Chains A and B, each alone.
Chain A
Amino acid sequence: ETGVTQTPRHLVMGMTNKKSLKCEQHLGHNAMYWYKQSAKKPLELMFVYNFKEQTENNSVPSRFSPECPNSSHLFLHLHTLQPEDSALYLCASSPAAKEQFFGPGTRLTVL
């Protein structure tokens, strides 16, 4: 266990649904990240939060909406997703903008 937990581990949703992914880190880190991992592609950085402030939005469509209420919790709110958004969504945390520690991911399928 890396100290980063994600729920749910699996999610199937229709294109009109609204759902949220949750990430929690128990490591005392100040930075948290959302990544998208699709088959045969490098990890794609989506969002970065540092001390609860968003410091990076990597041109992510507005149907993905992050929320960071405190430095231990990170959410990704999903609405009106497309089938091509099906992927593994990974959360990570970092102590000082160097090595990152990942959670187990949420496997998302959009029907």
Chain B
Amino acid sequence: QKEVEQDPGPLSVPEGAIVSLNCTYSNSAFQYFMWYRQYSRKGPELLMYTYSSGNKEDGRFTAQVDKSSKYISLFIRDSQPSDSATYLCAMSGGSEKLVFGKGTKLTVNP
């Protein structure tokens, strides 16, 4: 079983839709969870950072962590064409090493 599983998509939605992106993981030691957004030919940009279980909201973005199910989610409300990118989940147990998912490619159509 891979440490982090993420559906690569692609995912295509109409403008204004609510987008749900997910990752599952197998290592119960993971405590720090991140979502990165990567536009084509650019480096990943940190979008959300959460510690342990719970929700975190930042504008149109909400990150959820369910440690009991080893499941994390990123929700995007009122999606915009500018949200079109690849979204990467990442997590760690507090060491220097982040473990990344493969990324989900999202397209928001006007």
Known contacts A99-B34, A100-B46, A102-B44; decide if A41 and B94 are in contact (CB<8 Å). no
* Residue of B whose beta carbon sits closest to that of A99: B49
Q: Which of A11-19, A59-67, A73-81, A90-98 contacts B (4 or more CB under 8 A)?
A: A90-98
Contact A107 B44 (CB under 8 A): no
In whole angstroms, what is the CA distance A103 to B88 when docked? 15
Q: B65-105 vs A: 1/0 string, CB under 8 Å?
A: 00000000000000000000000101010111111111100
Contact A31 B96 (CB under 8 A): yes
Residues of A within 8 Å of B44, CB to CB, are 43, 90, 102
In whole angstroms, what is the CA distance A58 to B81 when docked? 37
Q: Interface range on chain B: under 10, 10 to 19, 20 to 34, or 35 or more?
A: 20 to 34
Min CB–CB distance A81 → chain B (angstroms): 21
8 Å CB interface, A31-65 against B: 31, 33, 40-43, 45, 48, 50, 55-56
| Interface residues of A, Cβ cutoff 8 Å to B | 2, 4, 6, 31, 33, 40-43, 45, 48, 50, 55-56, 90, 94, 97-105, 107
Contact A98 B102 (CB under 8 A): no
Can you list 6 residue pairs at the A/B interface with Cβ under 8 Å? A6-B43, A31-B96, A42-B100, A42-B102, A56-B97, A105-B41
Min CB–CB distance A41 → chain B (angstroms): 7
Residues of A within 8 Å of B46, CB to CB, are 2, 99-102
